[in-house]
Structure 1
């Protein structure tokens, strides 16, 4: 825990200067990778613009991670690696380079507040955005791995999106499934991510319902202690009680006249 508290002003200064350029580069990577998978007729060999864009994004992300680790004091380098898994993995797995595009969300002033509503908004925005990017890139990567494989069932982008959505929702109809080792790796990754996303969504909904119930109880409790009997108005008895009282009164009158 002590290593995680080691200050790193040089690294923080580097991050402030490079956040926007890296986000722009991340958008370029997303567009380039989408074209690479969905438009196979476009030239993609060495020397092509598409190849250069993908290579440049990978090199820059690798350099960024290496520089940030080197600018972290020795006592906090392993802590940096442990606490920045997406940043580190973005230098290895293409999927995580897309997640770096979401870094600017941390700078939204409202999301930096710590009230219950702000924390919930933070979770909803991060969770929904990450889920969309996660499903989109898993679908792209799986399509790239599967569409030319013998016996493949995922051969179009529509197939890949459908398979990714039903898998992450833990439905899994079984009509489409990966047949390659790479595709199955992405499937496992998608299933693990699906459990995390569904769990986060469930926890957020439960938190919201619990907060609303607490507000209702607090409101009713305050009004009950502060309001007088006059402010509450006349007490209205249930219909069944009123009918029974009327019957009892009528019986008493009959007894008097009968006696």
Structure 2
């Protein structure tokens, strides 16, 4: 049975704690990947934090399914694609940071930003978070691989910048299966983000010019 009020209350109350949990997850993963000189016990503790955070994401997903009143299956996944993707690929969980704005917006009569401002803000936040997570994932896959050109985290960040901006100099490229999988995802997401920003900016320009055309000439 569907409980829309309970589901909405759960979403409003859980978004901020889940965002903090996702930030903890990303921080623990970053330290695990970058701080290679830490003792084994420290890395074990970091992996425990990562696993506990993922368990929290799983609990949230299950609660949302139950409160939605829908049977879990392909149809549910199609209608909640972002929730499912970030559960399977928890490095993308910080992308849900944009949902916090929606929670804040529900508590006010009017949004704080215009539609165009929100699109650009969401795209900017998503690009930064996705770029950092992608750089970590590629660096973890590529470092030490035979014939790898991405040998440092700096190389990985540079490669991510090339990929997200669709420049693609080709001076550094992933050679592993895991690295290329991350690359394919970043390419698709960068095209989508650039399309959203470009379309929103173009629409804003058209509306601005239309408003100017409607004004009476100065006398």
Give the TM-score normalised by structure 2.
0.88
Runs of 4 or more off by more than 6 Å in structure 1? Answer: none
Equivalents in 2 of 1:168, 1:210: separation in Å?
26
SS of equivalent to 2:26: helix
Distance 1:215 1:107, change over 3 A: same
Greater RCO between the two (CA within 8 Å, min separation 6)?
A: 2
| 1:135 equivalent in alignment to 2:141 | no
Partners of 1:101 and 1:30 in 2: CA distance: 13
Question: Structure 2: how far apart are the matches of 1:27 and 1:143?
Answer: 19
1:81-113 Cα offsets, whole Å, 9 max, x none, are 323222212221132222233321212339984
Q: Is the 8 A contact 2:65 2:71 kept in 1?
A: no
The structure with the larger Rg is: 1
C-alpha displacement at 1:35, in angstroms? 0.7
Please say if 1:92 is aligned against 2:76: no
Q: Decide whether aligned partners of structure 1 residues 100 and 109 sit closer, same or farther in structure 2, where only a CA change above 3 A counts.
A: closer
Deviations 1:182-225 (A, max 9, x none): 00000100110111011112112211211221121011xx247x
Residues 202-249 of structure 1, C-alpha deviation per residue, up to 9 Å, x if partnerless?
112211211221121011xx247xxxxxxx3xxxxxxxxxxxxxxxxx
Q: In structure 1, what is the equivalent of residue 98 of structure 2?
A: 102
SS of corresponding position for 2:68? coil
**In structure 1, C-alpha distance between the alignment counterparts of 2:72 and 2:138, rounded to whole Å:** 36
- Structure 1 residues without counterparts, runs of 5 or longer: 1-5, 225-231, 233-259
TM superposition score normalised by structure 1: 0.75
Post-superposition offset of 1:143:
0.4
Unaligned runs of 5+ in 2: none
Q: 2:174 is paired with a residue of what secondary structure?
A: coil
Q: Does 1:27 align with 2:26?
A: no
Report what 2:69 is aligned to: 73
Per-residue deviation, 1:158: 1.2
Give me the CA root mean square deviation.
Answer: 2.6
Match of 2:32 in 1: 36
Q: What is the aligned length?
A: 217
Paired residue for 1:162?
158
Q: 1:77 to 1:150 in 2, by over 3 A?
A: closer
